[in-house]
Amino acid sequence: MFRIGDDMKLPDGKRFAFTVFDDADMGTVANTRPVYDFLADCGLRTTKSTWVYPSRGEYAGQSLADADYREWLLQLARTGFEIGLHNVGDGAFTREEIAAGLEEFRRTFGSYPKVHVNHVSNPDNVYWWAKRFEFPFNLLYTLAYYARTRRMPPAGGDNPRARHFWGDYCRDRITYVRNITVNHINTLEKDRRMPYHIASKPMVKYWFSSSDGHDLALFNNLIRKENVDALEASGGVCIVYTHFAYGFVKNGEVDPTFRERIEYLAGKDGWFVPVSTLLDHLVAAHGGEDPGYLYRLRTNIDWCLDRVAKRMRFGI
């Protein structure tokens, strides 16, 4: 069983690490603030992503253009939560709009976002679609995409010829970008070298993986007592990717199962810090060098198997 070795001890003798990246999709003050109030009470500090602009696509949710949402995010930042980026908004944005959005983020929070996650199929996504994967998975993905849509995948925000290009801004202003998710609470056991640079994708400094807690059902399944105990026993690291707007709050109250399981987790001797704080610690331990094609290919195979298992069990 993989565990953090002597070269990657956690600060203050903590036995394991746990954090969350919360996707901005559908998020509002009303449907997510109770979760963050609860996490703060439990001593957890995590990462909340945001959009800068109002939605132009099919996903609802507030953005920095909403005064109440903006003020709440500032309050979160003041109390130790990290604010990350989930593209500047849902939908299509030009290079100029993206640049202005990054500046608006910096003016609001005092710095550029340190961590970013691509949003579904935004045309400005960086190294997304088939570019996420290694050969031959990239070819298989392209064929599947074309069979489903009768068109090729978008050029993406990493292509200098694209209208939505912002890869140079991503390289210069953002440190960490997420790629794959895994069906396992110990993220580091599935991707031991993360975060790492990939030489063939120079516009991202470091890539990281996450454990899949997509919605309330998946999150609660992931943090079952036996899983948390295993994470602690292995000295592992968990970065959950989720959407706190997806059913965690009902009638203003946090889901009782989620509450019970987080309280159990918080009662343990874990390191509960935002995503980039944890990734900074990991990259300092092993340097973040490109782990090589065969290693990356193995993570792609694991991702594919996990997607099949997720679809069979949860239907998503």
Instruction: Return the amino acid letter for 175.
Output: T
- pLDDT at res. 240: 98
Any idea which residue has 């190294």 for tokens? 127
> Do 132 and 145 meet the contact criterion of CB atoms below 8 Å apart?
no
Count the domains in the chain. Answer: 1
Residue 149 maps to a domain:
yes
Q: How many residues does the chain have?
A: 316
Give residue-wise pLDDT tens across range 285-314.
989 999 999 999 999 999 988 888 888 888
Share of the chain above pLDDT 70, in %: 97
Q: Which domain does 86 fall in, by range?
A: 6-314
Confidence of residue 162 (pLDDT cuts 50, 70, 90): very high
Tokens at 182, concatenated: 């895994």
Residue 114 maps to a domain:
yes
Q: Is the pLDDT of residue 3 over 70?
A: no
Q: Is the pLDDT of residue 7 over 70?
A: no
Confidence of residue 4 (pLDDT cuts 50, 70, 90): low
Residue 138 maps to a domain:
yes
Q: Is the pLDDT of residue 109 over 80?
A: yes
Give residue-wise pLDDT tens across range 174-233.
999 999 999 999 999 999 999 999 999 999 999 999 999 999 999 999 999 999 999 999
Residue 133 maps to a domain:
yes
- pLDDT at res. 1: 42
- pLDDT at res. 6: 47
Q: How far apart are CA 138 and CA 152, in angstroms?
A: 12
Residue 239 maps to a domain:
yes
Task: Provide the mean pLDDT of the chain.
Answer: 95
Mean pLDDT confidence for 127-132: 96
Instruction: Return the amino acid letter for 76.
Output: L
Q: Kindly report the pTM of this predicted structure.
A: 0.96
Residue 1 maps to a domain:
no
Mean pLDDT confidence for 11-15: 95
Confidence of residue 2 (pLDDT cuts 50, 70, 90): very low
Smallest Cα–Cα separation from 249: which of 42, 35, 16?
35
Smallest Cα–Cα separation from 98: which of 56, 48, 62?
56
Q: Is the model more confident about 261 or about 310? A: 261
Residue 214 maps to a domain:
yes
- pLDDT at res. 166: 98
Residue 287 maps to a domain:
yes
Would you say the C-alpha torsion 220, 221, 225, 230 has a positive or negative sign?
A: negative
User: Helix %, strand %, coil % for the chain, to 5?
Assistant: 45, 15, 40
SS3 129: helix
Instruction: Count CA within 13 A, CB hemisphere, residue 277.
Output: 19
Supply the angle between the helices 95-109 and 67-78 in degrees, to the nearest 10: 50
What is each CA distance from 230 to 15, 29, 61, 103, 281, in whole angstroms? 11, 34, 35, 42, 22
The CATH number given to whatever domain includes residue 274 is 3.20.20.370
Mean pLDDT confidence for 128-153: 94
Q: How far apart are CA 56 and CA 226, in angstroms?
A: 42
